[in-house]
Structure 1
């Protein structure tokens, strides 16, 4: 069930797994441009029942459709009566100089942070969009229970999910990730993005690095579930080892599962997505 809101445009709507998949567009105050997101509503939400909600964050070059189409998450979310909200991976068509020059900076590569440096600071504010505006909007429009809200992501989105959960543990009740960028401040992907978005200010980096957040006292009350493929072509950049060590030092409950034959693709995610929905269902329905 949804409320009428003339500021939100329905771009697409499809029956799926007994529920409804919708693509919506709205003028984002935080991003200062139109933003598009996808949402899956299980049959319980369509009937007006308040349901738990899981926000899913995709990786570099992806968009609001990628995770929901490729992960097979919808089928299992429907089984558990959980809604899924999928934002885009960055603002789009902002006119920011250089935003379309590289795959790992700008369009499709917002890194789920709030930029503080020019020319990015006006529009590239994905952390605040995901933490404030998108949950407030979706929980107003649909039968979503904001007291039972979790977050999950892949790669860059896994980094974003971990950062959100560690910084705002009362807001996000559960968290999991597939092949997350665990220590971005020491790898080229992260250094390039952080140099641009934060103007080289290392103090800002520490707020957007899951490993450093753990080392600096941030924790989540629930167990963090992470799956990492050992045939991942980006394994040396993702630094799952650093996250494990930081979790051990801080006392953070972390279930790091190393999967022998799996790479970085959505075939890997499809294989283990059911476990992640069980993980979130247990935490959100407890």
Structure 2
């Protein structure tokens, strides 16, 4: 692991790091905010998964999480959204696929299977790296994310309910197997059989019996992707049918941007902190 940069913030340290990923077969970069309480021992870990076109840096620069994370004693880990590099397969003219759009799946189709293994990266390789190199209490982990990253957070939590104590999302893609901007990506990464996509679709995971105690979801009513791509009511229907507690908050006049995310970031941090306290 290499340190790219570190900077003191609100008594803690915001760092950016890189490493040679065996899972993704390329160099990967990630960000970690370590709160001041970590001087006294391991602290809870909150994972943030970003959306399409983003890197680790978007939420770090625009998410406004450090002040309250420092107050609450939360470590915030921000992975990249996909593998990167000249040798990584890509569609440079397609912002909904390829580099910047890994969708947190393990690709099975060539030429993507070699590098696009973001599910294994964020659930296995990067957690092992965090555990070995940072004062992280891995018995207290939460996960949240935005848009494509909200999709990732929901699916990761549903598939790993014993690892995560909390999960929330900002404007998540709740049913990527039928949404116009994610269905083509799943087909390219996972193949033409839509049955293979179910493992990365929150609503279908719930239909198939996966469970998580509760979710918090914020969604802006002025989000241009609301009706075609995000459709939170599908998650609401799935959770109601399965008996999963869902707090779906429709926020009037908010869009899909980091202005929306930063507005409700404090609410999400406090929500996670309460569930990670024990």
The match for 1:215 is 207
CA distance in 1, matches of 2:35, 2:86: 33
State TM-score, norm by structure 2.
Answer: 0.97
**Which shifted more, 21-30 or 90-99?**
90-99
The alignment status of 1:271 with 2:263, answered yes or no, reads: yes
Structure 1 residues 25-36: aligned runs within 5 Å: 25-36=18-29
Q: Displacement, 1:98?
A: 3.3
Q: 2:225 aligns with which of 234, 249, 252?
A: 234
Rounded to whole Å, the distance in 2 between the matches of 1:199 and 1:96 is 19
Q: How many residues align?
A: 277
Q: CA contact under 8 A between 1:57 and 1:67: conserved in structure 2?
A: no
Indicate conservation of the 8 Å contact 2:90/2:99, yes or no.
Answer: no
Q: In the TM superposition, what is the alpha-carbon distance from 1:48 to its structure 2 partner? A: 4.5
Per-residue Cα deviation, 1:239-263 (whole angstroms, up to 9, x for no partner): 1010000000011111101111211
Report SS of the residue matched to 2:47.
Answer: strand
TM-score (norm 1): 0.95
Q: Contact between 1:155 and 1:181, CA under 8 Å: does it hold in 2? A: yes
Distance 1:155 1:98 in 2: 21
Contact 1:159-1:209 within 8 A present in 2 as well? yes
> Deviation at 1:96?
3.5
Secondary structure at the aligned position of 1:22 is classed as strand
1:167-206 paired onto structure 2 within 5 Å: 167-206=159-198
SS in 1 for 2:105: coil
1:150 to 135, 142, 154: 142
Which whole-Å CA distance do the structure 1 matches of 2:152 and 2:274 have between them?
22
What is the RMSD of the two structures over their aligned residues, measured on CA atoms? 1.0
SS of the residue aligned with 1:262?
coil
Partners of 1:177 and 1:245 in 2: how far apart?
A: 17
Aligned to 1:54: 46
Q: Are 1:43 and 2:33 an aligned pair? A: no
Given the alignment of the two structures, is residue 95 of structure 1 paired with residue 87 of structure 2, yes or no? yes
Deviation at 1:94, TM superposition (A): 5.1
5+ unaligned residues in a row in structure 1: which ranges?
1-7
Deviations 1:214-238 (A, max 9, x none): 11111112x2100000010110110
Q: Give the secondary-structure state (helix, strand or coil) at the position aligned to 2:181.
A: helix
**How far did 1:97 drift?**
3.8
Tell me whether 1:9 sits opposite 2:8 in the alignment. no
- In the other structure, the counterpart of 1:5 is none
What stretches of structure 1 move > 3 A for 4+ residues in a row? 96-99
Alignment partner, residue 97 of structure 2: 105
- 2: CA distance, partners of 1:179 / 1:110: 17
Residue 278 of structure 1 and its aligned partner are, at CA, apart by: 0.8
CA distance in 2, matches of 1:21, 1:51: 15
Equivalent residue in structure 2 for 1:261, among 248, 253, 256: 253
Question: Match of 1:145, SS?
Answer: strand
Q: Shift of the alpha carbon at 1:154?
A: 0.2
CA distance in 1, matches of 2:32, 2:193: 35
In 2, the alpha carbon distance for the partners of 1:9 and 1:16 equals 20
Determine if contact 1:48/1:143 at 8 Å carries over to the other structure: no
Q: Please state if 1:284 is matched with 2:241.
A: no
